[in-house]
Amino acid sequence: MEALVGSLFSAGERVLVPVGGKFGRRWVEICGAFGVEVMTLELEVGEAPSPEEIRNHLNNAADIVAVLLTHSETSTGCLTDLRSIGPVIKDVGIKQGRKIICCADCISSLCVDELSKDEWDIDCAIAASQKGLLAPPGLAFVCLSSEALSRMKTRASSGYYFDLRRYYDDVCRSPFTPAVSLVRAVRESLRYLLSLGLDNVVGANRSAAEGLRRIVEHAQFRLVARQSSNAVVAFWLDGVDPLAAARLLREEHGIVVAQGQGETLSGRILRVSPIGKSKSSLLAFGRAFEATMAKLGREFALDDIMEELDRTLEGSRLWESQR
């Protein structure tokens, strides 16, 4: 994210950033560090920006050079409709006789939710090794359109290690010592994921996310996101202590779930990731969740929806068959 902002935009230029959670906010903070001006589009928690909102904001400000989006907002589990928004950004640019660069943080969506960078007119997509790629943390990937590339080449350089021009000039090697062990780990991951088939992988993550949402809703908790991503299922714990629930899940069942991040969400929600979870581990989560919630005074019986889960979770058998 930092390499992209530092390599593509100059201090004083203005970008549009929809903020629906911690990672949208991070774009704003990084821009601040580089003196890049930001027009924010503040969203309700769990909301994604609509194509109309983006169009209106761009129509009202002819000096916006780029829109920085968050495909899957991991703090809320909300998915942004890039398929509709990319073409809107391109269209406004054409009408205004200029190029508006569309950037998307796809760190938790690559291999997890459907993503079609070129068809959806995304100029810059970024990803990282530790989410849908199922590898250790430490590597980031940046993919640029020819328009983004020509913008990058005309900027005065800023930064050193994170100046993307250095990597572009030396594209088949690396300008600095690369994290060789991580590159190899990602290669193994990619071989595995491609042997399963990318569509099947996305399908397995979708099926796991649907199953998790069904368990949570059956326990009568409300989802945070209006438009759900497959990367994380976040839900309000109304009346139940999320810290106590997370502690019981960890200590009694060996299951780690994440807390909410930031002022509005910390201490109020839990987040569970479906990425790469097999059918049996999802059912084990369901049972552990059932037992944990019963201890905390919220009774529900998974038996009632077992048949339904059996069907919903079928896709996530993928992870079991290939081990």
Ligand X SMILES: *Cc1c(COP(=O)(O)O)cnc(C)c1O
Please report, as ranges, the residues that interact with ligand X according to CB under 6 A: 23, 70, 72, 74, 105, 107-108, 128, 131
Nearer to ligand X, 7 or 75 (CB): 75
Least distance (Å) between residue 141 CB and ligand X: 12
Least distance (Å) between residue 126 CB and ligand X: 8
Least distance (Å) between residue 125 CB and ligand X: 12
The Cα–Cα gap between 120 and 88 comes to 10
Closest listed residue to residue 8, CA positions, set 159, 149, 146: 149
Nearer to ligand X, 128 or 142 (CB): 128
Least distance (Å) between residue 246 CB and ligand X: 19
Q: Which amino acid makes up residue 176?
A: F
The DSSP line for 164-217 is HHHHHHTTTS-SS---HHHHHHHHHHHHHHHHH-HHHHHHHHHHHHHHHHHHHH
Nearer to ligand X, 131 or 206 (CB): 131
Q: Which amino acid makes up residue 43?
A: L
Nearer to ligand X, 111 or 288 (CB): 111
Least distance (Å) between residue 17 CB and ligand X: 13
Nearer to ligand X, 208 or 248 (CB): 208
Mention every residue, 6+ apart, whose C-beta is less than 8 A from residue 37. 12, 13, 14, 15, 31
Mention every residue, 6+ apart, whose C-beta is less than 8 A from residue 56. none
